[in-house]
Amino acid sequence: MKYFLSLIVAVVITSSSFAQAGVCGNFHKKYCKFEKDKADWQYNAQSKSGLFNQGMVSKLRCVIYKGMDYRISVCCETVLGDKVSYKIFDSRTNELLFNNATAEDTQVFEFASVSTRQLIIEVVVPQGATEKDKHKATDAACVGLLIEHKITDKQGFSTY
């Protein structure tokens, strides 16, 4: 009986883990621009992937820290090659800090943080055909949001 109960618990935990990972799982790790380069960028655990319907808007809250550089990469699977639109807001003031639509639809944005604060990253998935996959609807697409960070390089005179 104990063996049977343990087996049921193991199946429930495993099923729950697969459900949380979803169809898109670690899409951001595979398809977003993640470069181990000389600049020492590190993977940030606030990165996410998800299955989105076309035209869907979703928001993610993240914390950035003073003295750190950040690189945000957004990617989406579409046959038509449409780019994902995204905006970055200060969560306290709701001030728009970045809009990729006004930056030639760039999918990668780098910045230095001069203070610790929370941001809201708003992602909009474009309309368009998606690749056929037996595990998801044809009107849905995987979206990845990759956040990378590194310690800001010292600039100018550090001591005098």
pTM for the model stands at: 0.75
pLDDT digits (tens, 9 = 90+) for 122-132: 998 877 655 56
pLDDT digits (tens, 9 = 90+) for 23-42: 888 988 888 875 655 568 89
Q: Is 5 helix (H, G, I), strand (E, B) or coil?
A: helix
Domains of the chain, by residue range, sit at 24-151
CATH for the stretch 24-151: 2.60.120.380
Whether 117 and 28 have beta carbons less than 8 Å apart is answered as no
Cα–Cα distances (Å) from 113 to 27, 79, 106, 133, 156, in that order, read: 26, 35, 20, 39, 17
- What's the CA gap between 86 and 20, in Å, rounded? 24
- What's the CA gap between 60 and 96, in Å, rounded? 14
Across 62-73, average pLDDT: 95
So what's the pLDDT on residue 75? 87
Choice between 140 and 113, residue whose per-residue pLDDT is larger: 113
Q: What percentage of the chain reaches a pLDDT higher than 70?
A: 71
Nearest Cα to 136, choosing from 14, 25, 17, 12?
25
- The structure tokens listed for 106 are 């760039």
